[in-house]
Amino acid sequence: MVILTIAVVSAFSFPVFAAGISVDEQQILDHLDSQGAAYDVTTTRTFSRYRNMIENWLLANDISTQRCTAISACIDTVANRYSAALASKGLASTDYPGLKAALSNSEMINLATGMVRGIAPAFATVNIKLTEQMVAQDSIFSIEATLFDTGANAEGVLGASIGGAGGTTVIGTLDEPIKQTGFDVNSTVVVCAGLTALLVLCAAVIRKQGLLSASEVE
């Protein structure tokens, strides 16, 4: 389902100012809603998040009729892959909870990674670059995908960053809504403890070999 929503979030380009949502653009939202309903995911929090991203992107951009059609095709591509994942576990298309229960964490990660990589070519046809990154937080691993609008003439852009550097603009991210907004020094404490232990070990070796007491020995 996450990947289903990625497709729509990703499939927009030509960042020009728009006046609301056009009829063609509304059809994209409708298509997403219908596919979401087919897979029984429209009530999930994830669906709401990414549908909102899509709506924001439509509000900020004008999408041509031709491009809207291509975007709908991207939605179908992702839906088909998701459907295949369900079928591989012997589940019905509406059994989203069943898929979560049927897959281990590692299988879920593998599925997400495979889908992200598998649908990337479809995104490229609508000038969207898709990157994925493994993220670990509180012992929970997840895939974070970021979608960049590369524009019509920016194929092969590698230096994507926020704010459109390198001709790109972030369209959507698969990160959680709630961010880390305070210091997290756990890693520093662990590393410092490790280095201190290393220091003690070195001191013990040096002491055992008598490297620092040579003149006294002599």
Partner 1 sequence: MNRRRINQILAYFYVPVFFSLIGAVIVLVALLPFWTLLSTTASVLLKDEAPTFAASLRVIYSDPGPNDVNVPADPDSSSNGQAISLSDVQWPVFGDLYGELSCEAAGIDAPVYFGDSSEILRAGLGTYIGSFIPGYGKPILISGHDTTYFLPLQYVVKGDVFTFKTSYAVYEYEVTDVKVLKYNDASAFDLGTDQEQLILYTCYPFDKIVGTKTDRLFIYAERISGPDLT
Of 57-86, binders to partner 1 (CB under 8 A) are 57, 59-61
Is there binding between residue 152 and partner 1 (CB under 8 A)?
A: no
Using the rule CB under 8 A, which residue among 18, 37, 39, 107 binds partner 1? 18
* Rounded-to-integer distance, Cα 57 and Cα 34, Å: 19
Check residue 212 for interaction with partner 1 (CB under 8 A): yes
Does 196 sit near partner 1 (CB under 8 A)? Answer: yes
77: Cβ–Cβ under 8 A, 6 or more apart, which residues?
Answer: 7, 119, 122
Asked if 202 interacts with partner 1 (CB under 8 A), we say yes
Based on the shown chain and the rule CB under 8 A, indicate whether residue 34 belongs to the binding site for partner 1.
Answer: no
Q: Is 165 in the site for partner 1 (CB under 8 A)?
A: yes
3-state secondary structure the chain: CHHHHHHHHHCCCCCCCCCCCCHHHHHHHHHHHHHHHHCCCCCCHHHHHHHHHHHHHHHHCCCCHHHHHHHHHHHHHHHHHHHHHHHHCCCCCCCHHHHHHHCCHHHHHHHHHHHHHHHHHHHHCCCEEEEEEEEEECCEEEEEEEEEECCCCCCCCCCCCHHHHHHCEEEEECCCCCCCCCCCCHHHHHHHHHHHHHHHHHHHHHHHHCCCCHHHHC
Q: Binding residue for partner 1 (CB under 8 A) from 156, 159, 177, 208?
A: 177
Q: Does 36 bind partner 1 (CB under 8 A)?
A: no
Binding residues with partner 1: total (CB under 8 A): 56
Any contact of residue 124 with partner 1 (CB under 8 A)?
no
If one asks whether residue 56 binds partner 1 (CB under 8 A), the answer comes out as yes
Q: By CB under 8 A, which span of 69-77, 86-94, 100-108, 183-191 interacts with partner 1? A: 183-191
- Is there binding between residue 139 and partner 1 (CB under 8 A)? no
Q: Does 162 bind partner 1 (CB under 8 A)?
A: yes
- Give the interface with partner 1 as residue ranges (CB under 8 A): 15, 17-20, 43, 45, 47-53, 55-57, 59-61, 138, 161-165, 169-173, 176-186, 188-189, 191-192, 195-196, 198-199, 202, 206, 211-212, 214-215
